[in-house]
């Protein structure tokens, strides 16, 4: 007897290749696309009584499920099987284990260290991780087996993190010393085993802004170039693997040493290496160009380096508790050494305000250049309900009203509204034509992939999972930079091809039935809001999606009319079984 079937009727099929959309019906059988036929034809005739779901897609776009290659759902998947809110935005496949961070391999007794590392680097409430995460593994293979047995709404695969490898071999010395030859050999063996078990590749980061739970630089900061290259080369022995690296110098436009290191890693493995993200800053107008040269240097050395760029002009939230970004600003460490209420009292002091503002104004590189456009912020939330009138007000308006600078107005809003008072700003001002011109150049550059969501991380400052809806609203509907077909290609076909995801990212007979049905005129983000729905009542920022009618994973509806259905058809993706090799040398640049 034929298996379970879904018939999607009357939509415009945008197949993920960039080709023009066509009026067609799609028939799904047992989680695969069985047929794509002319609209109005009796495509479901062969289904007979086994059709279990008929979806009317009249006036809607039918597209492949979107792929998010840069997430941090490594722990969240255990206490939030929806992987919220990614599926609401049409994401059907995610990759974790980025930035050198994974929860395996782990030695007995190091579980707390790994938990606090993930919490600190990715700004995930440590209380939520402690309440929702139970280690049932030591090796990476055991971790994958536990994930495979854990139902979830979307497919997920994992890179293998450098921090965990170093800690497993070197213990606390991982955060202080270079590896001995014997230790490096042991790391190579661990990575070999992890990739053989299905790890999708090797990830690492040596950004000095990334600190562990004890405030020390993460372990890869103490690795030599030879260690990076040796570990990258392991991927060359395993099919369907990739590399990911966040060098410390990306905030400065990449040092020559880091550019050469990325090229050497890619060439040694004969695998694509990705990094994120190109920075657009009118105060440092050549910053992005200095970063992008990494692709050209790698190509000359037989490698391939691809930039992942956050495509949308999404809202970024900042605050003084926990203050993930503000903590890293120059001269602000003393403020964040104080307890929250003492911090609030310090912000009431005019001298403290002046010192904080001065150190950021004098900075010539780093995060300060990104966050110091104080007039662009507006108050998003306050803790004190008597100060609700501040919500929605811009710091420019409050500064004029109170007769202070915009930064002093931010401090005053915290004093009045409470230490958890939040501020949001767009990454780019609407009238910033220079930044838009550079963004337009980068967003259409074949060396750039529209990704870098960080979904599941930085939960106090953004909701990166919303990037498909935000990018569609801005870049397709508002600015017309991409056609619907081109944007679907960017969100599905291109990332699937870069990671060699087998039979995903396109609509064609035989492909996996990971599908979205959306309103092209209505697809976009809902308002950002704080939700306290993590274990222990911990908070996270949430953005939903309007205009997303249906999302299917393996042919099973996981979203209907903008709400999760509760279905958990997602599977674990393992390298080799679910991926094919995309070599660096002579790799086709898909655009």
Residue tagged 């004969």 (tokens): 270
Helix axes 395-402, 406-417, angle to 10 degrees: 90
pLDDT for 41: 59
What is the token pair recorded at 374?
């104080």
CA atoms within 13 A on the CB side of 67: 28
What residues of the chain score a pLDDT lower than 70?
1-3, 40-51, 586-591
Q: How far apart are CA 307 and CA 295, in angstroms?
A: 8
β-strand partners of 305 = 273
Map tokens 């170093």 to a residue: 166
Longest distance between any two alpha carbons in the chain, whole Å: 78
In tens, the pLDDT along 276-300 reads 999 998 888 999 999 999 999 999 9
Query: Distance (Å, rounded) from C-alpha 457 to C-alpha 473?
Result: 23
What is the pTM assigned to this prediction?
Answer: 0.91
User: Would you kindly state where each structural domain of the chain is located, as residue ranges?
Assistant: 1-314+432-591, 315-426
The pair phi, psi for residue 33, each rounded to 5°, is: -80, 120
Task: Classify residue 243 by burial, with Cβ atoms within 10 Å: 0-12, 13-18, 19+.
Answer: buried
Q: Are strands 563-564 and 556-560 parallel, antiparallel or unpaired?
A: antiparallel
Note the pLDDT of residue 527: 85
Strands 548-553 and 545-546, sheet pairing: unpaired
Query: Is the bond preceding residue 208 a cis peptide, omega within 30 degrees?
Result: no
How would you classify the pairing of strands 201-205 and 160-161? parallel
End-to-end CA distance of the chain: 41
Structure tokens given for 153: 């709404």
Cα radius of gyration rounded to whole Å, the chain: 24
Assess contact for 340 and 327: CB atoms under 8 A.
Answer: no
Residue with tokens 């995309």: 582
Rounded CA separation 269/302 (Å): 10
Distance CA 463, CA 310 (A): 12
> Got the DSSP string for 343-389?
HHHHHT-HHHHHHHHHHHHH--SSTHHHH--GGG-EEEE-SSGGGGG
For 233-253, the pLDDT digits (tens) are 999 999 999 999 999 998 888
Can you state the angle between helices 225-234 and 256-269, rounded to 10 degrees? Answer: 30
Q: HEC string of 289-330?
A: HHHHHHHHHHHHCCCEEEEEECCCCCEEEEECCCCCCHHHCC
Tokens found for residue 509 = 């007979």
pLDDT at 3: 53
Tokens 């213990």, residue located: 171
| φ, ψ at 121 (rounded to 5°) | -65, -40
Q: Return the CATH fold of 1-314+432-591.
A: TIM Barrel (3.20.20)
Phi, psi of 363 (to 5 degrees): -65, 145
Angle between helices 140-148 and 181-196 (to 10 degrees): 20
- Tokens 């509806």 correspond to 557
Between CA 440 and CA 157 the distance in angstroms is: 31
Which parts of 65-112 are beta strand (E)?
A: 66-68, 91-96
- 3-state SS string for 513-540: CCEEEECCCCCEECCCEEECCCHHHCCE
Q: Is 12 helix (H, G, I), strand (E, B) or coil?
A: strand
HSE on the CB side for 541, CA within 13 Å? 29
What is the structure's pLDDT at 19? Answer: 98
Please, are residues 7 and 27 in contact by the beta-carbon 8 Å criterion? yes
């Amino acid at each position: 007897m034929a298996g379970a079937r879904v018939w999607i009727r009357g939509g415009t099929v945008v197949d993920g290749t960039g080709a023009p959309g066509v009026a067609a019906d799609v028939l799904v059988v047992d989680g695969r696309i069985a047929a794509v036929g002319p609209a109005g034809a009796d495509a479901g005739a062969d289904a007979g009584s086994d059709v279990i779901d008929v979806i009317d897609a009249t006036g809607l776009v039918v597209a492949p499920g979107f792929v998010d290659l840069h997430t941090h759902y490594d722990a969240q998947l255990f206490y939030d099987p929806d992987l919220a809110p990614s599926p609401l935005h049409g994401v059907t496949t995610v990759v974790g284990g980025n930035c050198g961070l994974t929860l395996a391999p782990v030695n007995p007794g190091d579980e707390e260290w790994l938990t606090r590392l993930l919490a600190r680097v990715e700004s995930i409430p440590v209380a939520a991780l402690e309440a929702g995460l139970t280690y049932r593994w030591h090796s990476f293979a055991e971790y994958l087996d536990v994930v495979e047995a854990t139902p979830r709404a979307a497919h997920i695969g994992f890179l293998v993190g450098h921090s965990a490898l170093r800690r497993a071999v070197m213990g606390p010395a991982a955060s202080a010393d270079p590896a001995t030859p014997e230790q490096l050999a042991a790391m190579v063996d661990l990575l070999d085993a992890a990739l053989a078990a299905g790890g999708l590749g090797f990830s690492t980061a040596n950004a000095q802004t990334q600190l562990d739970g004890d405030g020390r630089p993460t372990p890869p900061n103490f690795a030599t170039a030879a260690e990076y290259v040796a570990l990258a080369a392991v991927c060359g022995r395993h099919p369907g693997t990739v590399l990911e690296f966040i060098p410390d110098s990306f905030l400065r436009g990449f040092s020559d040493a880091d550019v050469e290191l990325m090229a050497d890693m890619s060439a040694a493995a004969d695998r694509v290496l990705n990094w994120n993200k190109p920075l657009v800053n009118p105060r440092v107008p050549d910053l992005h160009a200095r970063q992008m040269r990494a692709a050209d240097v790698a190509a000359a050395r037989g490698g391939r380096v691809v930039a992942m760029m956050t495509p949308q002009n999404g809202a970024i939230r900042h605050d003084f508790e926990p203050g993930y970004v503000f903590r890293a600003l120059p001269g602000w460490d003393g403020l964040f050494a104080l307890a929250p209420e003492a911090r609030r009292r310090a912000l009431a002091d005019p001298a403290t305000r002046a010192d904080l503002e001065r150190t950021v104004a004098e900075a010539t590189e780093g995060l300060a250049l990104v966050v110091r456009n104080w007039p662009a912020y507006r108050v998003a939330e306050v803790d004190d309900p008597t100060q609700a009138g501040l919500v929605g007000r811009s710091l420019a308006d409050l500064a004029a009203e109170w007769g202070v600078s915009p930064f002093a107005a931010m401090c005053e809003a915290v004093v009045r509204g409470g230490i958890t008072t939040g501020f949001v700003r767009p990454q780019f001002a609407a009238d910033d034509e220079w930044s838009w011109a550079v963004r337009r150049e980068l967003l259409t550059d074949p060396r750039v992939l529209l990704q870098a969501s960080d979904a599941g991380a930085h939960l106090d400052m953004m909701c990166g999972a919303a990037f498909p809806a935000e990018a569609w609203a801005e870049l397709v509907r508002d600015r017309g930079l991409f056609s619907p077909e081109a944007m679907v290609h960017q969100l599905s076909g291109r990332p699937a091809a870069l990671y060699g995801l087998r039979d995903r990212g396109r609509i064609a007979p035989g492909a996996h039935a990971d599908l979205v049905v959306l309103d092209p005129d209505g697809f976009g983000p809902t308002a950002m809001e704080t939700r306290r729905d993590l274990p222990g009542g911990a908070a996270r920022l949430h953005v939903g999606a309007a205009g997303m009618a249906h999302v299917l994973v393996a042919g099973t509806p996981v979203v209907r009319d903008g709400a999760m259905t509760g279905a958990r058809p997602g599977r674990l993706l393992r390298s080799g079984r679910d991926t094919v090799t995309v070599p660096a040398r002579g790799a086709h640049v898909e655009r």
